[in-house]
Structure 1
Amino acid sequence: MANLINLKTFTDARGNLTVIEKVIPFDIKRVFYIYGVDNSVRGHHRHKKTIQSAIAIQGECQIHSQSGEDLPIEIFSLNSPSKCLIINREDYHWMDNFSKDCILMVFASEYFDANDYIYEPYKKISR
């Protein structure tokens, strides 16, 4: 199940410094970021192996996640660079409601592999 963690942030008169250290539950093999999104919905998949951590380092967006048949869809609002969403391999997820200035950075546990993606949603959705 996807879960939101708060990243350690230090704030003073000079600004903010957010640290990502010993909180991501995997070794990072790939980093990508999504930005300049129009009204599109991104994602609509889950993975066989990959675990991801998503951070809106600027702006905001929503990530919807469902981790199995008959389980509810959870909606996470990423609206601060100090929030990190852990997306597990079983989490069918999609992203929407991107603000115009949103930059969504994602850390992945695996290198890109087209065969790692499962595009079929769970058949039953609990609401």
Structure 2
Amino acid sequence: MAQLIDLPTFGSEAGNLTVLEKVMPGAIRRVFYIYGVDAAQRAGHRHQTAWHAMICLSGSCRVYCNNGDDESFAVLDNPRKCLVIEPRDWHLMEQFSSGTILLVLSNEYYDPADYIYERYSLQTV
């Protein structure tokens, strides 16, 4: 199931440094970010093999996750929070605030064949 983790952050008079490491298997192969969202929702899929780590660098959004057995919501509203999504987690991002920048890191390159759009039968969203 998707897991919301607090990233190690080190603060000083010079500012904050937040570290993202060892949160998903393999190497980071793809990095993308979502911003300027006008749509009510983004995503609406799960993956065959790809893991994702999501960090809201600015603004906020809510992420719905469902792995076929359990469902949950996570609010990303702080760059110290990271949502790790496993391949089986069908996910949907919504409730984007103005100015949101959502950073996503993946352990796989983009492959359209990796996407599964079919919802699990127990989904409430």
TM-score, structure 1 normalization: 0.91
| Secondary structure, counterpart of 2:109 in structure 1 | coil
Q: Which of residues 66, 75, 80 in structure 2 aligns to 1:82?
A: 80
Give the equivalent residue in structure 2 for 1:55.
55
| Secondary structure, counterpart of 1:77 in structure 2 | strand
| Secondary structure, counterpart of 2:108 in structure 1 | coil
| Secondary structure, counterpart of 2:113 in structure 1 | helix
Per-residue displacement from partner, 1:56-111 (whole Å, max 9, x unpaired)?
Answer: 0111101000001xx34200000100100000000000000111111000001110
1:56-75 matched pairs, under 5 angstroms: 56-68=56-68, 71-75=69-73
- Distance in 2 between residues matched to 1:13 and 1:56, nearest whole Å: 23
1:88-99 matched pairs, under 5 angstroms: 88-99=86-97
- Distance in 2 between residues matched to 1:84 and 1:43, nearest whole Å: 17
User: Aligned pair count?
Assistant: 125
- Distance in 1 between residues matched to 2:11 and 2:24, nearest whole Å: 22
1:22-33 matched pairs, under 5 angstroms: 22-33=22-33
- Distance in 1 between residues matched to 2:39 and 2:112, nearest whole Å: 25
Gaps of 5+ in 2: none
Indicate if the aligned counterparts of 1:39 and 1:97 stay in contact, CA closer than 8 A: no
| Secondary structure, counterpart of 2:46 in structure 1 | strand
Query: Percent of pairs identical after alignment?
Result: 46
- Distance in 1 between residues matched to 2:113 and 2:24, nearest whole Å: 24
Q: Which of residues 106, 112, 115 in structure 2 aligns to 1:114?
A: 112
Per-residue displacement from partner, 1:35-68 (whole Å, max 9, x unpaired)?
Answer: 0112420000000010100000111101000001
Superposition CA RMSD, Å: 1.6
- Distance in 1 between residues matched to 2:78 and 2:70, nearest whole Å: 24
Give the equivalent residue in structure 2 for 1:35.
35
- Distance in 2 between residues matched to 1:45 and 1:23, nearest whole Å: 21
